Chains A and B, each alone.
Chain A
Amino acid sequence: MPNDLWLSIGAILPIIVLAVWACLLLLVDLFIPAQRKGWTASLAAVGLLITLAVILSRLGQSQSGFGGMVMVDNFANFLSILLLASGLAAIALSHDYLQRTGIERGEYYVLLLFSISGMMLMGMASDLIMVFLALELLSIPLYVLAGIAVPRLNSEEAAIKYFLLGAFASGFLVYGTALVYGASGSTSIAKIVQVIQAGQHNLTLLLAGAGLILVGLGFKVAVAPFHMWTPDVYQGAPSSVTAFMAVGAKAAGFAALLRIFVLAFPVVSLDMTPVLWSVAALTMILGNFVAIAQKNIKRLLAYSSIAHAGYILMALTPYGQSNVSADSVASALFYLVAYALTNFAAWAVVIALEQADERGLELSDYAGLGRKQPALAAAMTVAMLSFTGVPPTLGFVGKFFLFRTVIEGGFIGLALIGVLTSLVSAYYYLRVVVIMYMQEGEPVVRRDGWLYATAFVSSIGVVALSIFAGPLIALASRAILNLF
């Protein structure tokens, strides 16, 4: 038995390293003077790099731990690497931004690390209770991060809205979990699968549980009609937090959705697929059409993130067909990478243009950027093209992969909605480009090396990886879910 315990601890070693590092950083931060919080930022980045090294040293192995509560497979490792890279990008975006807006506190970086450990755990969780715990571990630090700019009213408002709706969503998730427990006698995905194969489950309870779990996680990844909090929270939270939240919370939420639905719930796919179909379609339509009316860049990106959640959910629709479900997982993961890179390129530019007291966030503030800062404007243009899905960007490859999966699953109507809403999205994405290059203006731009580096590395990555997409697609395709 003790041997088992050590193996289990070994399985989640990256999370333990990260969490312990975060706890120590909280102590060390006490001795770092307020003007030198850059040290805390660097130490947090070192923690992420060490965790990354631990994961990279054990790639390819697949092990389960704690009686099947966590499963560290290729899928989990793929997500962990994506999340750690996002964390590094978030730290690069944060330091200068927090300093000049006067909200730099050491606990910011610690909370970021805790949240990332929760997200990583979410990718590994193969027990519904573990999903719940991981969800809370990632959410609670995010609630605080959204409100870290107290006493700025917008930030407080964002935090309280995120908190109340997040807790509401957890209620759905827990109740769904409880019903699945009632239906199958277990919360472990592996055991649920066994019970279903033996035909000893209660289908009504299982269906109700699956629906409630979809609602709970749907709130987290912001799909319509559970998206109401997204624009307000994205606008009110400090921009560096929003940039991270948009990627991290989405990736973690979809990780849990993919693992639970693909592995445990194919038996209810007859009823769940139409639900997923309509939720995905509604999300794409609503996100893209409402984004057209936005004047504030943060709100615009919020609605864009809702729309992209719809695209990713589209990949989940054919999850019940065993010959397509592997492609579902691969294309969703690939799109998450594309979304993460594009997102950080766009947010780096947004943060570079943001001024104190939340000025510089209107679309009209971008006028003249093309002449004054051609490089930054180019990065923003790449991001907007990638969000739209125009080649040669990663967004195009990602969407292509998604649509192929959906058509493989036989949902041509859904793919058509996806293509048409992408066309609609070109209107508001390209409007940003037009404002940058065609209108006269004097934008005020913050010069900071890390900000520029993030913008350029992500936008170059978006273009370069789309041309050499093969290895990334291969990696995503190998990131299959293991049951045992």
Chain B
Amino acid sequence: MVPIQYYTALSAILFTIGALGVLTRRNAIIVFMSVELMLNSANLVFVAFARSFQSINGQVFVFFVMAVAAAEVAVGLALIVAIFRSKHNINIDQINNLRG
């Protein structure tokens, strides 16, 4: 069996990649994909620990996270489409009407 540390290390790497993606990428869709990567790295931790504890809970939570992520996609893509219609652009550096 693969030791649990390997899974947590992998998920930490994925989480960091996701977080860096959110902070450095400028395309709204790619930012959003990076967020999904963060959520999925958490899913990996859940599943790995559920297996090592021999408990089903962690695996059930993954379904919750997936369902919520799907709901977020629905709203998020609708917002991105709305903003693309008005600006013909989804670069978040150029979405900068609001400033004080």
Contacts and interface: CB of A to CB of B under 8 A. Distances in A.
B42 A167 contact: no
Contact of B79 (A132, A136, A147, A179): A147
A170 interface: yes
Interface in A364-405: none
B8 A153 contact: no
Contacts of A177: 42, 61
Contacts of B46: 178, 181
B91 to A, nearest CB: 11
Interface in A134-162: 136, 140, 143-144, 147, 150-151, 153-154, 156-161
A154 B98 contact: yes
A236 B75 contact: no
Interface in A48-82: none
Interface residues of A, number: 44
Nearest to B55: A185
Contact of A294 (B22, B43, B100): B100
A186 interface: yes
A181 B53 CA distance: 10
A157 B97 contact: yes
Contacts of B57: 181, 186-187
A140 B73 CA distance: 10
A479 B22 CA distance: 39
A78 B48 CA distance: 38
A168 interface: yes
A153 B86 CA distance: 7
A211 interface: no
Interface string A223-237: 000000001100110
Given A136-B68, A154-B97, A175 B15 contact: yes
B68 A143 contact: no
B49 A178 contact: yes
A187 B11 CA distance: 19
Contacts of B22: 164, 168, 171
A181 B60 CA distance: 13
A210 B96 CA distance: 34
Contacts of B19: 168, 171
Nearest to A179: B45
B45 A159 contact: no
Nearest to B46: A178
B83 interface: yes
Nearest to A232: B98
Interface in A109-139: 129, 132-133, 136
Contacts of B71: 136, 140
12 contacts: A147-B79, A147-B82, A151-B86, A153-B86, A157-B95, A157-B96, A164-B22, A168-B19, A177-B42, A178-B43, A179-B45, A232-B98
Identify the 9 closest CB pairs spanning chains A and B, nearest first. Answer: A171-B38, A178-B45, A174-B42, A232-B98, A175-B42, A182-B49, A299-B100, A178-B42, A167-B35
